[in-house]
Amino acid sequence: MASQELKHRTKPEEQEGETKEIDASSAADMNNSGKPRRQKKRAMASRGLRSLVLAVSFPTLLTIMDIYLFGSSNRYRNTEKPFYFPPLWALHLACLAAAFLSGLSAWLVWAEGGFHKQPNALLLYLGQLGLSLGWYPIVFGAGATRVGLVMCTALFGAMVGCCRMFRVVNPIAGDLVKPCLIWALLLSIVNLRLVYH
Model pLDDT, residue 29: 47
DSSP-assigned states of every residue in the chain: -HHHH------HHHHHHHHHHHHHHHHHHHHHH-HHHHHHHHHHHHHHHHHHHHHHHHHHHHHHHHHHHH---HHHHHS---TTSPPHHHHHHHHHHHHHHHHHHHHHHHHTTHHHH-HHHHHHHHHHHHHHHHHHIIIIIS--HHHHHHHHHHHHHHHHHHHHHHHHH-HHHHHHHHHHHHHHHHHHHHHHHHH--
Give the integer Cα–Cα distance in Å for 53 and 187: 27
Q: What is the pLDDT of residues 134-168, one digit of tens each?
A: 999 998 888 888 999 999 999 999 999 999 999 99
Q: What is the pLDDT of residues 73-121, one digit of tens each?
A: 777 777 777 777 788 888 899 999 999 999 999 999 998 888 888 889 9
Dihedral pair phi/psi, residue 170, rounded to 5°: -145, 115
List Cβ neighbours of 78 (8 Å cut-off, separation of 6 or more): none
User: How buried is 15 (Cβ within 10 angstroms: 0-12 exposed, 13-18 middle, 19+ buried)?
Assistant: exposed
Residue of 67 and 21 predicted with greater confidence:
67
pTM listed for this prediction: 0.73
Q: How far apart are the first and last CA of the chain?
A: 104
Residue spans of the domains in the chain: they are 53-195
Considering the domain 53-195 in this protein, what is its CATH number? Answer: 1.20.1260
